[in-house]
Amino acid sequence: MPMASSSLGRLTVITGPSGVGKGTLVSRLLERHPEIWLSISATTRSPRSGETDGVHYVFLTRSDFEQQIEAGGFLEWAEFAGNLYGTPRRPVEDRLQAGRPVLLEIELEGARQVRQSFPSAFQLFIEPPSLAVLEQRIRGRGTDSEEAIARRLARAHTELAAVREFDASLVNDDLESALAALETHMGVAAPATAKPEATRAPGK
């Protein structure tokens, strides 16, 4: 018997141009809300320094990735800046069935596929304050070759033009403010912090 939809976890898709700060925002969000489960994507791109197989991505050869496509193993997949990226289907479906909130951090074509297969998913777009700041962030990250930077910036124009397809968007300018906006959109309250002195009762 199918499960009642109210017991299924909520699926959220986060999209935005490379370098906008998706990874930074998502890792801060997960530190504060460990109940949210982030899907680990598969990719054919090479690991960046500091990236671990099975943690940041599952790194596959192109032929292994293509076999997974044939076997229907991806919920969605797309080519981005010369590499293939995809969301393994089974782990996502298992977590949703178990009632966990699930997060996908994927590019535009994948978000469009999820819109077809999971119309009830919440789709959020992250915008940079400007294209100049986006370029500074990609360069500041120091992980991409000039060719990769050029491809990512070219692709950013297409992605930014699609912002209106999304249920909501936020600008990642000040990180703390963007994180708070992300929490609001995801319907998770910010963790409680110590009350400021001024709000304490007198004498305490």
The residues that touch ligand ADP, with contacts defined as CB under 6 A, are: 16, 18-24, 137, 140-141, 172, 175, 178
Closest residue (Cβ) to ligand 5GP?
110
Which residues in 18-130 belong to E strands, given as ranges?
Answer: 37-38, 42-43, 58-59, 74-80, 83-88, 102-105, 122-127
CB of 57 to ligand 5GP, least distance (A): 7
The H or E element that residue 165 is part of is none
- Six-digit token string for 94: 């298992």
**Residue 87 touches which of ligand 5GP, ligand ADP, none (Cβ within 5-8 Å per kind):** ligand 5GP
Which DSSP category does 106 fall into? -
Judged by CB under 6 A, the residue of 29, 78, 103, 181 near ligand 5GP is 78
Site for ligand 5GP in 93-122 (CB under 6 A): 105-107, 109-110
Give the separation between CA 30 and CA 100, rounded to whole angstroms: 13
Task: Tell whether residue 85 is a contact of ligand 5GP (CB under 6 A).
Answer: yes
List all residues 6 or more positions away from 62 whose beta carbon is below 8 Å from its beta carbon.
44, 84
Measured from the CB atom, is 6 or 122 closer to ligand 5GP? 122
Task: Tell whether residue 10 is a contact of ligand 5GP (CB under 6 A).
Answer: no
Task: Tell whether residue 60 is a contact of ligand 5GP (CB under 6 A).
Answer: no
Which DSSP category does 144 fall into? S
Judged by CB under 6 A, the residue of 10, 28, 33, 45 near ligand 5GP is 45
| 3-state helix vs strand vs coil in the chain, percent to 5 | 40, 20, 40
Q: Which residues bind ligand 5GP (CB under 6 A)?
A: 18, 22, 41, 45, 76, 78, 80, 85-87, 105-107, 109-110
